[in-house]
Structure 1
Amino acid sequence: MIPAPFDYVRPGSLDEACRVLAEADEAGEDVKVLAGGQSLLPLLRLRLSYPSALVDVGRLAELRGVEDRGDHVFVGALTTHDEVLRSEVVRELVPLLALATATVADPAVRHRGTFGGSLAHADPAGDLPAVALALDCVLVVRSDEGEREIPAAGFFVDYLESALEPGEVLVGVRVPKLGPGWGFHYEKFHRTAQSWATVGVAAAVRLGEGGGVVEEARIALTNMGPTPVRARATETALVGVPITPSGSEPSGSGFSGPGGPASGGDRLRHACDLADEGTSPPTDLHGDPAYRRHLARVLTRRAVVAAGH
C-alpha cells in the first residue's frame, strides 16, 4: 500500500527538531519522529499511522554513539543496532544489551534500525524494551522546554504507547553497569530467524561469592502483555536457589513447598513457573495466551540457567 500524504522536515540540529515539534504541537498537528524507519514505515504503508508530517532526525550526529560514563553506559538514540553490537563498551560493560540486539531482525534491519527507535516505538514484541526494563535503564528525552529523565519502568505505557509527550525527542539511554558477579542471557522463541519474538526473556542473575547460589535476579518478559513485564514473583523466588549448568539442583536443597520437602531441580522450576504471574499475553497467529505462558516459564528457566553460568 501507499502511505497517506505527509509533509517531510529534516532539521539540522536537535534544537531545531525540538522547535519544529513544539510548533507542530501548538498547532495541533500530528507529527512523527523518523529515525531508522524500520518500524514506522511499515505502519505508514499499511495506513495504521497517518501523521501530517515526519520530522527526520536520522542525520543528527549528536544523537549517535556509545560512551562509558562511569556508573553507566550512555547509548545515543540514533545508534544503530549494528553499532551497538560492534561496540566493545557495550559487549564488556552491558553484555545483556549486546545479547538481545544480536537477535533483532536481520543484518539489513540492524544496519538501519536504531536503539532509541526500538524503545520509542514501544512494541511489547520488541527485544530491547524488555532489556531496558530488566536493567532499570533511564531514558533521556528533550523538548523545547528542556530535558527530563524517564525510568524504563514508567516509559512503556501501553501497546505502541510510550511516556514521550508531544514535542519530545528521545536523546539517549543510560544503561546501568551491574558490576561483578552478574551473569546475563536473552532467550527468545520465534518461528523464523527474522521475526518478532513469540516470547522473549531478558535475565540478569547475581550469584554469591562462592558461586552457584542466586543472590539477586532481574527478569523481564517480551510479548507477554501490552508492555514489557518484570517477572517479580520469579525474581523473589530465585533468591537463595542454587543453579547448576544442567538446570538441576543438588539433592537435599531444603525447599519445602505445599507438598512437603523437595530436592533436585524443584526450587528452580518452582521459581521459573511463576514467571507468567500478572501477565496478559496476546492471542495472534503465533500462539494463544496459554501457549505463551508455557513458553514464558520454559524460557525463563533456560535464561536463568544460562545467565548463572
Structure 2
Amino acid sequence: MLPFDFDYYRPKTLKEAVDLFQYLEQQGKQPFYFNGGTELLTLGRIDLAYTEAVIDIKGIAECSVMQVSGDHLLLGSSLTLTTVEEANLFPLLTKTASEVADHTARGKITLGGNICARIFYREAVLPFLLADSRVLIIGAEGKKIIPINDVFQGQLRLEKGEFLVQLATENRYINAPFFTVKRRQQWDTGYPLITLAALKIDQKIRVAISGLCPFPFRSPFVEDAINRKDQSFEERTEGAIAALPQPILDDIEGSKEYRIFVLRNLLADAVETLDRAVF
C-alpha cells in the first residue's frame, strides 16, 4: 500500500495524455506518468515518490507497438520486458532484459519504465545505446524523434510533461554479433554488480555498461581503447579501464576495486569473443 491517495487516469491517445498532464500540473497535482508502476510503488512506500494524479499510458496504442517497419524495429515503451523477451525480435535486448529482476517482476516492468527509472541500473537501455536507436518523445511541444545517444546522458533527459513513446532500431544492428553478461554478487535475481553489453558493427566493438557508475553509459573513449587492434587484449582492456567515467560505485553490492576487477574480466571476454565474430 502507498501512504498517499491519488486520482487515476487512463488516456487513450497521446494528445489526451499530454493535455491531462498540463491540466493536472496547473491544478498543483504533481502528475506522474505511469507505465509499469513498479517504481512508483517501490519508491512511494519509502517516501521517495509522491503524486496526487497518475496518468497510465498503457492504454495508448502507440506505446504498445512491436513491429518491423521498413528497415527498423519499432518497440513501444509500454511493452513489458517479458513481452520483449518472448518475441525475441532484438536478441541483444532479449538477453539483457531477461536478466532484469525475476520473471514475475519482468511481467510488470515495461521497457520505458526501466529506461526512465530513477534507480540507476536501467539495463534495458544498453542495447539501444549500442544500436544508435532513435526515440519518439511527446510533450506539450508535440512529437520529436531524437537519437538516443543525444538525449540519454546518464538518464533520459525529458522535459516536464514529456514521456517516451517508442524506440526505433535499424535491422543491421539487431542482426549484429553481440556479447552481454550480468554479474551479481549476492543471488540469482539480486541487483547487478556489473552488466556489460557489447556489439560489433562495421568491424568495431561498442560497449555499454550498467552498475559500475551511478548511471548506465556508453563511452567513446572506452570504445577507442577497446578497438586498438595493434595492442594486446590486456593493453586494450587496461586502456578501457583508464578511460572509464567517474565516479565508480562503492557500496554494499561491491567495492570500487571489486567492480573494476569484475569489469576487467568481462571486457577481456567481450573483446576476445567479438574479435572472432564475422559480420
TM superposition score normalised by structure 2: 0.87
Aligned partner of 2:44 in structure 1 is 44
Aligned to 1:268: 233
Q: How far apart are residue 43 of structure 1 and its match?
A: 0.7
Determine the C-alpha separation between the residues in 2 that align with 1:60 and 1:142. 12
SS in 1 for 2:270: helix
5+ residue gaps in structure 1?
208-214, 242-253, 256-266
Cα distance, 1:156–1:123 mapped onto 2, change above 3 Å: farther
Letter in 2 for 1:3: P
Q: Which digits, 9 at most, give the CA deviation of each residue in 1:31-85, with x for residues without a partner? A: 2111111222101111111122211122333311311123321101111111111
Name the residue aligned to 1:285.
252
Deviations 1:129-166 (Å, cap 9, x if unpaired)? 222222222221112431012322233345xx531111
Partner in structure 2 of residue 218 of structure 1? 206
The aligned residue for residue 299 of structure 1 is 266
**Which residue of the partner structure matches residue 221 of structure 2?**
233
Structure showing greater radius of gyration is 1
Aligned to 2:193: 198
1:99-145: per-residue Cα shift (whole Å, max 9, x none)?
11111111111211111111121543121122222222222111243
Q: Give the drift of 1:205.
A: 1.8
Structure-2 separation of matches of 1:231 and 1:146: 30
Q: Contact 1:125–1:199 (CA<8 Å) still a contact in 2?
A: no
Separation of aligned partners in 2, 1:64 and 1:117: 13
Deviations 1:211-264 (A, max 9, x none): xxxx311101102223212243342233363xxxxxxxxxxxx64xxxxxxxxx
Secondary structure of 1:23's match?
helix
1:8–1:56 CA contact under 8 A, matched in 2: yes
Q: Distance in 2 between matches of 1:231 and 1:84?
A: 26
Q: Are the equivalent residues in 2 in contact too, given 1:205–1:304 (CA < 8 A)?
A: no
Partner of residue 245, structure 1: none
- Matched to 2:255, the amino acid is D
Between the two proteins, what is the percent identity of the paired residues?
26
Q: Residues of 1 paired with 2:118 and 2:198: CA distance?
A: 20
Matches within 5 A, 1:105-120: 105-120=101-116
**Which of 181, 187, 211 is the matching residue for 1:187?**
181
Tell me which residue corresponds to 2:83: 83
Q: Is the 8 A contact 2:75 2:167 kept in 1?
A: yes
Q: 1:66 — aligned with what?
A: 66
Give 2:159's aligned amino acid.
E
Gaps of 5+ in 2: none
The 1:273–1:27 alpha-carbon spacing in structure 2 relative to 1, beyond 3 Å, is farther
Partner residue of 1:135? Answer: 131
In 2, Cα distance between equivalents of 1:109 and 1:185: 24
Structure-2 change in CA distance of 1:130 and 1:177 (3 Å): same
Q: Distance in 2 between matches of 1:301 and 1:178?
A: 25
Name which of structure 1's ranges 8-17 and 104-113 shifts more when overlaid on structure 2: 8-17
Question: d(CA) in 2 for partners of 1:152 and 1:299?
Answer: 25
Superposition TM-score, scaled by structure 1 size = 0.80
| Alpha-carbon distance in structure 2 between the residues aligned to 1:206 and 1:166 | 35
Q: What is the rounded CA distance, in whole Å, between the counterparts of 2:3 and 2:171 in structure 1?
A: 42
Q: Is contact 1:2-1:45 (8 Å) kept?
A: yes
- Tell me by how many angstroms 1:179 deviates: 5.2
In the alignment, the residues of structure 1 paired with residue 24 and residue 248 of structure 2 have an alpha-carbon distance, to the nearest angstrom, of 36
Number of aligned residues:
273
Which residue of 2 is the match for residue 174 of structure 1? 168
